[in-house]
Amino acid sequence: MKVLTIQDISCYGQCSTTVALPILSHYGHETAILPSAILSTHTCGFKDFTVLDLTDEMPKIIDHWIHERIKFDCIYTGYIGDKRQFGYILKCKEELLVPGGLFIVDPAMADNGKMYPGLSTEIIFGMRKLCSKADYIIPNITEGCFLTGNDYKETHDTEYVNKLLKDLFDLGCKNVILTGVQEDSDTIGAVAYDGITRTYNLEVKEEKSYHGTGDIFSSIIVSDILNGKNLKDTLRHACKFIIEAIRKTVDDDTHSYGVKYEEVLRDEINN
């Protein structure tokens, strides 16, 4: 399938566009990018990172593609640093998706109860709008709380998860995939909700957590959905992949900025 991903390029740090492209390609998809910004690194754990905003370039790229009659089977969005970009993204959805194409939104803007450094509350409003028009949204718990006004909690009983899922679904999307769900301190995973059915996949939690795992998770979800894999297997694949990537990284103290997901891809090829 032909996938357009709209998110930033963090030049160093294993997140957003630099992880989405190899993963989408690995699972057989053709890729195109509409970069929202170029940063020297991602914004968590690095100081004094540089940012080049690309908002003004977006409409020119989109208009060229419309002129060329270019179309995509899926548009997959991630980190967006400037509120002016949401309108351009919705234009992409209207003009560049094939009929029946999928609009998948990872509202990548927050984690561990906090917004990422430098993001304003206007980003939350924009992400809400994207979510209202999405076929799938893939928020983590923190993003789910910011999108719906629920309080952030570290562990998540069934009542809390169900309320978040319902409030997220009520934004107007067709499917919610909520990540980072922790029923207790030993397990972590994801729950999908389509307005009727809840599909769970929880795994034994690794001690450490890393930046960029949400982007890897979403890229696998997008890849598997486009390949027609069923939801339960898709969730299991994405959760196990992240756990495995963390396991490959934990012993290397010099590697704290992201996970060694490439080694998991290599194992999938070899096995």
List interacting residues with ligand PXL (CB under 6 A).
Answer: 8, 10, 15-16, 39, 42-44, 79, 108, 116, 211-212, 214-215
Among 265, 270, 234, 224, CA closest to 248: 265
| CB 214 to ligand PXL: min, Å | 6
Residues 200, 189: contact at Cβ < 8 Å? yes
Among 258, 264, 255, CA closest to 220: 264
Between 1 and 39, name the residue whose CB sits nearer to ligand PXL: 39
Cβ neighbourhood burial of 192 (10 Å; 0-12, 13-18, 19+): buried
Between 111 and 244, name the residue whose CB sits nearer to ligand PXL: 111
Between 104 and 231, name the residue whose CB sits nearer to ligand PXL: 104
Between 71 and 255, name the residue whose CB sits nearer to ligand PXL: 255
| CB 44 to ligand PXL: min, Å | 4
| CB 98 to ligand PXL: min, Å | 27
Cα atoms found within 13 Å of the Cα of residue 206, Cβ hemisphere only: 18
β-bridge pairing 97-105 and 136-137: parallel
Between 44 and 66, name the residue whose CB sits nearer to ligand PXL: 44
| CB 74 to ligand PXL: min, Å | 19
Q: Tokens for 40, please give them.
A: 């020297």
| CB 63 to ligand PXL: min, Å | 26
Residues 24, 220: contact at Cβ < 8 Å? no
